[in-house]
């Protein structure tokens, strides 16, 4: 395992800004208001030639009860305990506050390697705060400016010996492995998830549907912040694990409400982050609340996943609270088929994120959806199938122009995409395209997965179509008379 660095400190000292600087991308949400980050976010950091894992944590609060701030503090303390080193940030412009002194004492007891850094120390405004940092008893502070990238060389010099020590220890303990990766013919069959390329899963839904609780149960660890409050999750947090033998990377996303109800700038950033997670995912789990399933926003989220071309699994959470399970399940299936016809046949699974019941069925449904999403059909099979579909239901002839569909092939997978070479593709009605898509879904066992169908003009093969009609040479001679021999 690589070296792990946890960034901790009071709210709004610049932890997420430094995290984004180290990973080289704007992964963590950044805003002027304090307390933006709530969960632990991991990223692969690059600093010079060094590579290591960095953890962005929630701002340390003095609360120790079961309030939201207290739960955030306990989650941050866990990150400190699991990290190889801890980078304690203070705000050089604000100076050392009483809370900084309390947290410095806590960090000394919980982590052997604590690195002190004074952020926002550019210019003269941070001089006094930098000098005050010596009083914390954590050694010489590093002068940083995460926003402008100042002090990164000094940070690298402090981290270098720690990273070398951890890497040497990991190399000595690492087992011998021999992994062959076949990069050719990637689309020739379903991709088998590996540790290097795990199955990408995004869990999306409305606020308070139980997404974080469900993921914690899958991880078998209280890794994500949960609670009765709606909208706790803000960042789209990804976690790698192995679920029943399948290497996965699962994304917890912020709850998505209607745009008309979103006034807060931070919530808009959170929703945008969740939409980005959907684009990275291979399988999207749309999580519904059994008490209020298939509301308008649920339908929009499911439709978004389908339009993005992702495999979709619909999971109904809090199933342990339902008394009339059989009647409720029958009602859910009827509503699903009626309200989401574009996902007809997609798996519908009932789960309980609190008790863990139904997680085995959810795992099987995700693997099945992923296999269908990767499915390929040979050209020979497709053209024999197309001939049968045309014979059973020929395409219409709008305006008296006969439509001829000559050839069909699959051009992509993930999701499956097909091309039909036809005459007059612009005249093919949408209803006939749906007829072909539904036939593909039924005859080649592709329930629920998005299917893309393109109609292309094969072109007219008649070489004389646009040429003027010319009289044959024999008829021309009759008008011109006999061919005369030149005079000698």
- List, as residue ranges, the binding site for GTP: 9-16, 56-60, 119-122, 205-212, 252-256, 317-320
- What is d(CA 357, CA 321) in angstroms, rounded to the nearest whole number? 12
Under 8 Å between Cβ of 129 and 96 = yes
Under 8 Å between Cβ of 97 and 247 = no
210: phi > 0 → left, psi -120 to 50 → alpha, else beta; which?
A: left
Show the tokens assigned to 103: 């947290």
Helix (H, G, I), strand (E, B) or coil at 456: strand
> Angle formed by the axes of helices 296-307 and 265-280, to 10°?
40
What distances in angstroms separate CA 364 from CA 317, 322, 349, 410, 418, one per listed residue? Answer: 16, 23, 10, 27, 27
Half-sphere exposure of 354 (CA within 13 A, CB side): 12
Under 8 Å between Cβ of 144 and 151 = yes
Under 8 Å between Cβ of 371 and 344 = no
335 φ, ψ (degrees, to nearest 5): -65, -40
Binding region:
9-16, 56-60, 119-122, 205-212, 252-256, 317-320
- What is d(CA 427, CA 407) in angstroms, rounded to the nearest whole number? 17
- What is d(CA 304, CA 10) in angstroms, rounded to the nearest whole number? 37
- What is d(CA 56, CA 20) in angstroms, rounded to the nearest whole number? 9
Q: Which residue has the tokens 């949408």?
A: 430
Strand 246-252 versus strand 199-205 pairing type: parallel
* Gyration radius from the chain CA atoms: 31
DSSP state of 67: S
Helix (H, G, I), strand (E, B) or coil at 265: helix
Element (H, E) at 249: strand 246-252
Residues in Cβ contact with 34 at an 8 Å cutoff, skipping those fewer than 6 apart: 11, 12, 59
């Amino acid at each position: 395992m690589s070296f792990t660095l946890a960034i901790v400190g009071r709210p709004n000292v610049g932890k997420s800004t430094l995290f984004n600087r180290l990973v080289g991308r704007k992964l963590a949400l950044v805003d002027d208001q304090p307390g933006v980050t709530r969960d632990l976010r991991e990223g692969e950091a690059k600093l010079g030639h060094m590579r290591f894992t960095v953890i962005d944590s929630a701002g340390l609060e003095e609360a120790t009860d079961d309030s939201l701030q207290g739960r955030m503090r306990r989650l941050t303390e866990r990150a400190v305990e699991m990290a190889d080193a801890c980078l304690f940030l203070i705000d050089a412009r604000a100076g050392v506050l009483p809370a900084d002194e309390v947290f410095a004492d806590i960090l000394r007891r919980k982590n052997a390697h604590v690195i002190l850094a004074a952020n926002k120390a550019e210019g003269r405004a941070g001089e006094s705060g930098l000098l005050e940092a010596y009083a914390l008893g954590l050694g010489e502070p590093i002068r940083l400016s995460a926003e402008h990238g100042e002090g990164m060389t000094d940070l690298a010099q402090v981290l270098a010996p720690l990273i070398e020590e951890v890497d040497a220890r990991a190399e000595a303990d690492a087992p011998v492995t021999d992994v062959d990766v076949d990069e050719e013919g990637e689309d020739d069959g379903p991709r088998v998830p590996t540790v290097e390329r795990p199955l990408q899963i995004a869990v999306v839904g409305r606020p308070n549907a139980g997404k974080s609780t469900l993921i914690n149960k899958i991880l078998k660890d209280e890794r994500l912040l949960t609670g009765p409050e709606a909208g706790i999750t803000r960042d789209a947090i990804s976690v790698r694990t192995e679920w029943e033998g399948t290497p996965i990377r699962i994304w917890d996303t912020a709850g998505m409400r209607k745009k008309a109800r979103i006034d807060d700038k931070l919530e808009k950033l959170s929703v945008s982050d969740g939409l980005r997670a959907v684009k990275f995912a291979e399988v999207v789990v749309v999580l519904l609340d059994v008490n209020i399933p298939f509301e308008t926003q649920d339908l929009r989220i499911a439709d978004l996943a389908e339009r993005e071309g992702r495999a979709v699994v619909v999971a109904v959470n809090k199933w342990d609270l339902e008394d009339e399970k059989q009647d409720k399940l029958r009602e859910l299936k009827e509503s699903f088929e009626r309200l989401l016809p574009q996902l007809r046949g997609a798996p519908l699974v009932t789960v309980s994120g609190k008790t863990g019941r139904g997680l085995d069925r959810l795992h099987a449904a995700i693997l099945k959806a992923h296999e269908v999403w990767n499915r390929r059909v040979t050209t020979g099979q497709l053209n024999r199938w197309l001939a049968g579909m045309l014979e059973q239901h020929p395409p219409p002839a709008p305006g008296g122009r006969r439509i001829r569909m000559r050839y069909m092939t699959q051009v992509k997978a993930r999701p499956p995409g097909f091309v039909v070479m036809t005459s007059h593709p612009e005249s093919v009605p949408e209803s006939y395209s749906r007829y072909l898509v539904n036939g593909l879904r039924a005859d080649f066992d592709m329930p629920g997965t998005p299917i893309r169908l393109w109609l292309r003009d094969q072109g007219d093969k008649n070489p004389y179509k646009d040429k003027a009609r010319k009289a044959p040479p024999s008829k021309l001679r009759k008008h011109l008379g006999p061919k005369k021999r030149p005079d000698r």
